[in-house]
Amino acid sequence: MPAQLKFKNVTLGYDRHPAVHHLNGEVAAGALVAVIGPNGAGKSTLFRGLAGILKPLSGSIDLGGLDIRDIAYLPQSVDIDRSFPISVFDLVGTGLWRSTGFFGGMGKAERDKITQALAAVGLNGFENRSIGTLSGGQMQRMLFARVLLQDARLIVLDEPFNAIDTKTSADLLALVKRWHGEGRTVLAALHDMELVRDQFPETLLLARGPVAWGATAEVLTAENLMVALRMCEAFDDSAAACADDMPSQAA
Ligand SMILES: Nc1ncnc2c1ncn2[C@@H]1O[C@H](COP(=O)(O)OP(=O)(O)OP(=O)(O)O)[C@@H](O)[C@H]1O
């Protein structure tokens, strides 16, 4: 399989403080990859880089010719502003912006697609509910419905099964497997090692930098996990980017 993504010595961070250092590697088109690591390892930061929300401090991410609209990004649920006054129907409908444009009209065909996506995640009847009234699991189902509509080649899921019940996890995992079966490239940040072992063929273990990347069984060793934990504990959050990474200050 050709590469869908190439990380070229990429460093990502905030206010010039790196959070993910010097990542090199490729993700094949159609791969299903778990991104794991301790809290603060840089998983969300990496995904924000993939989604184009965060520009690399240095290095680059080659999206294999994908347009940013070919990427569906599901943020961590804590990053969603639940007080935003929008209905479930309208929020899921934003998944169609790729085809309709921001100000595109919403005809019957589009409305039907939204209804079908809501049905696919078990949210019939929730159309007019304000997103602020949803439970954690319903919220996650809604966000998956939006990803469904985006019809993206690359799907990036940040802790998609966090704090949701077993039934919801199973339903949403079935969607992830469907996307994988359709040949889409899927990356998911996960904390559940059993789930990763059982369902994800490939894993990137991150601890501010890559610790191991490859077949899940080879990455998920006690030794690698210990190294990742130590690397995260030892990391200095106030460190500046490496001198080599900084843009030249010379005029
Ligand atoms: N908006 C931000 N501004 C400044 N620093 C940030 C910001 N977001 C994350 N960080 C820092 O970047 C580092 C990596 O955080 P990140 O959220 O990417 O880790 P993570 O692996 O997703 O963690 P978790 O598993 O806890 O969600 C952390 O030290 C974090 O405090």
Q: What's the pLDDT at 242?
A: 67
β-sheet bridge partners, residue 69: none
Are 20 and 13 in contact by the 8 Å Cβ rule? The answer is yes
14: pLDDT strictly greater than 90: yes
Q: How confident is the model at residue 79 (pLDDT cuts 50, 70, 90)?
A: confident
Q: 3-66+153-245 adopts what CATH topology? A: Rossmann fold (3.40.50)
Whether residue 77 has its Cβ less than 6 Å from ligand 1: no
Which of 43, 48, 208 for mutating ligand 1's site (highest number of atoms within 8 Å of CB)?
43
Q: What's the pLDDT at 243?
A: 58
Mean per-residue pLDDT over the chain, rounded: 91
Q: How far is the CA of 187 from the centre of ligand 1 (A)?
A: 18
Cα–Cα nearest to 170, from 83, 178, 35: 178
Q: How far is the CA of 101 from the centre of ligand 1 (A)?
A: 31
- What lies within 8 Å, CB to CB, of 24 at 6+ separation is 7, 8, 9, 10, 210
Ligand 1 atom nearest residue 206's Cα: 21
Whether residue 42 has its Cβ less than 6 Å from ligand 1: yes
Which of 10, 45, 159, 236 for mutating ligand 1's site (highest number of atoms within 8 Å of CB)?
45
Report how far Cα 220 is from the mean position of its chain's Cα atoms.
20
- What lies within 8 Å, CB to CB, of 123 at 6+ separation is 88, 138, 141, 142, 145
Q: How far is the CA of 114 from the centre of ligand 1 (A)?
A: 33
Are 97 and 72 in contact by the 8 Å Cβ rule? The answer is no
Indicate the SS3 state at residue 227. helix
Q: What's the pLDDT at 250?
A: 36
Nearest CA to ligand 1 atom 17: 44
Q: How confident is the model at residue 80 (pLDDT cuts 50, 70, 90)?
A: confident
The residue extents of the domains of the chain are 3-66+153-245
Q: How confident is the model at residue 28 (pLDDT cuts 50, 70, 90)?
A: very high
Nearest CA to ligand 1 atom 25: 39
Whether residue 166 has its Cβ less than 6 Å from ligand 1: no
Q: How far is the CA of 6 from the centre of ligand 1 (A)?
A: 22
- What lies within 8 Å, CB to CB, of 87 at 6+ separation is 127, 128, 129, 130, 131
Rounded-to-integer distance, Cα 203 and Cα 195, Å: 12
Rounded-to-integer distance, Cα 54 and Cα 20, Å: 12
Q: What's the pLDDT at 66?
A: 93
Rounded-to-integer distance, Cα 112 and Cα 232, Å: 47
Q: How far is the CA of 44 from the centre of ligand 1 (A)?
A: 6
